[in-house]
Amino acid sequence: MLSFNFQPVDQNRQTRILATLGPATDSVEAIGKLLDAGANIFRLNMSHARHDWAKTTTAHIREAAAQRGRVPAVLMDLQGPAIRTGDLPEPLELKQGDRFDFSVDATVQGDRVVGVNYPNFLNDIEVGAIILIDNGLIRMKVLNKTELVAECEVDIGGTMGSRRHINLPGTKVSLPALTEKDRRDAALGLELGVDYLALSFVREAADVEELQALIQAGDHPTMVVAKIEDQHAVKRIRRIIKAADAIMVARGDLGVECPYEELPIIQRHIVHECLTVGKPVVVATHMLESMINEPHPTRAEVTDVANAVFEQADAIMLSGETSVGQFPTMCVEVMDRIARRMEQERGARFHREAKLTDQRQRLAKSAVRMADDLAADAIVMFTVSGRMARETAWMRPRHAKILALCADPRVAGALALHRGVTPVIIENFCPDFPVLDAIATLKEHGHLQAGQTVVVSSSTKAVEEIANSVQIHEVS
């Protein structure tokens, strides 16, 4: 028999759960609890993380996973270019109608003026532009520009603190795709062997390609997640989807940059576009926000999570809920419960419009159609690069889980993001694909049970050529 590195049965939940780690969850014990509750991917948010913390936490993820025979993905989220206000001697109370200035001299601070960290700030904005501070809590309008400052009027007041994030909805900024900090963080991610690097504030495909070029210059193959966070990215979404390995609908900044009534439409449009061409997609931000401090979700949050599952996104993400919240494990359990129930419904099935371009994709579709017709419990496959498993996940099996058997731990980790895929590492990979041995060993370790129907998608050597096949087996 083949030798496997096994993990417990996933109980057939298809939607993957991505949990952000932080002070509340960075220990081996806490990460283990998240894995036991159903987390599949772990996020390191480099907007707040130091390099020593990232190194230690990555080691903790791998230790907790090894204890359970699990293969979670690790996603490092780069901060990206951000416009922020400078320091203030003390917080300012701004009221509607107040005048306030922004200076391109980052050191400026005063009663009605503050510097910004972006030298081209005045070149990018126009008179009449809207400036949002601290995720839209404060709103201003540009009345006039001089050589040094933007003169504004407060539309919506609030407390202005130091180093607050600035959004410029509808304004195309000339910030670089990768800051020097991002490059240092990405180098660390490659050194640590993370499975995904998430690029913040992607505006066009070239931004993704710049990060991919940095990755290709090294020795560690890592996939790129493009975070969609502003109107310019939405307008170029098809080209960005084509360039990236995965997409994240990052609804925090996206909800500030775009009219809020458009946000559900944008989310559904992006998920639809991803499932048309077979790119994995994550729906993120504010999914169970109230559970940072409360033990139960609001009914609106339950509906929001359920909607992302209904749209058949590959993964749903927790941010502050698991990084700094009081109930991190419970948040994963709540997501797991909602996802299991929604997956009993038929779903949006956007993948039915899939644009298939080769025979391997058609083989994946045939395997999924057979599994759906037979109400099979699992689709089993051997995969070297992960491609066959990704394309099978793209076809969205109705009930069957996808057991992807592979030799490379890096391939296995990357597959953990894909809907319905349970990666299983084969320690002694064999080109002859002993299917019956694989099924027997999967049964022995709890992935399959006697009497279950399994569809096997495999490649076998036929004379001098490799032949692809789809087989049906009943677990004995």
Residues annotated as catalytic are 43, 84, 227, 285
Residue 374 phi/psi, 5° resolution?
-90, -5
Own/partner contacts of 257-262, CB < 8 Å, gap of 24 or more, are 257/167, 257/169, 257/170, 257/229, 257/230, 257/231, 258/169, 258/230, 258/231, 258/234
Residue 156 bridge partners (DSSP): 139
Q: Which two tokens stand for residue 63?
A: 């230790």
Classify 289 in phi/psi space as left (phi over 0), alpha (psi -120 to 50) or beta. alpha
- Which whole-number Å values give the CA distances from 12 to 33, 284, 318, 401, 420, in the listed order? 19, 22, 20, 6, 7
The DSSP output letter for 420 is T
Helix (H/G/I), strand (E/B), else coil: 460 = strand
Q: Which two tokens stand for residue 246?
A: 């995965």
Query: Whole-angstrom Cα distance, residue 369 to residue 398?
Result: 9
